Amino acid sequence: MISFSTVEIDYTLKNKLKVKNWVKTIVETEGKVAGDITFVFCNDEYLGTMNEKYLNHTTLTDIITFDYSEAGKLSGDIFISIDRVKENAGNFNVTFPVELGRVMAHGVLHLSGYKDKSPGDKLVMRGKEDFYLTSYPNL
């Protein structure tokens, strides 16, 4: 089941059913099965606290993915800072929905096994994000 929730922020995702179907398409295109995937929209402060507590990082981030997947069945919690997505949309000169779609795809790709630590991994990840953004329902 793909679900959406918020914590410490007032935000409502538009086109939830279309976004759920889009996420399922990413999962299936990657040859996986969708398990329980929860997108949790929050603010910078909340995500910053999680980043420090669980990853020992003190920098701002737009996403943290907790992967609970087993045997090709993708499950996890994907925390996304709406504050960071809004700021990054301005920095990258894209709309908020486009940047949100990129970050959501990024989280699902992490659950699918993609990494983004090395330059080569980042290039692959960005290519996959771009590919899936072409069908993002909020564009």
State the total domains in the chain.
1
Are 67 and 55 contacting, i.e. CB atoms less than 8 angstroms apart?
no
Residue 22 lies in a domain: yes
**Digit-coded pLDDT (tens) for 89-102:** 999 999 999 999 99
Residue 139 lies in a domain: no
- What CATH number did the domain enclosing 11 receive? 3.40.390.30
* pTM of model > 0.85: yes
Residue 138 lies in a domain: no
Q: For residue 60, what pLDDT band results from cuts at 50, 70 and 90?
A: confident
Residue 70 lies in a domain: yes
Per the structure, the complete domain to which residue 100 belongs is given by: 2-133
